[in-house]
Amino acid sequence: MPQRVEVDPNLSPAIFPSRVLNEICAHARETLPEECCGLIAGDARVRQRLAYPCRNEMTRRHQLDPANFPRDGREGFYMNQLDYLKAVQEAEASGLRITAVYHSHVGFGVYLSEMDLEYALHEAFPFPDADHIVIAVFDGKITDVGLFERDPEASFLPGRFVLAGSP
Residues that bind Zn ion in the complex, under the rule CB under 5 A? 113, 116
SS3 28: helix
Shortest Å, Cβ 109 to Zn ion: 10
Rg, C-alpha atoms of the chain: 15
* Residue number with CB closer to Zn ion (36 or 41): 36
Residue of closest CB approach to Zn ion: 116
* Residue number with CB closer to Zn ion (14 or 28): 28
Shortest Å, Cβ 83 to Zn ion: 18
* Residue number with CB closer to Zn ion (5 or 91): 5
Q: What amino acid occupies position 106?
A: V
Spatial strand order of the sheet with 160-165 comes to: 14-17, 160-165, 141-148, 131-138, 97-106, 37-42, 50-54
* Residue number with CB closer to Zn ion (49 or 103): 103
**Pick from 104, 98, 107: which is nearest to 134 by CA?**
104
Shortest Å, Cβ 113 to Zn ion: 5
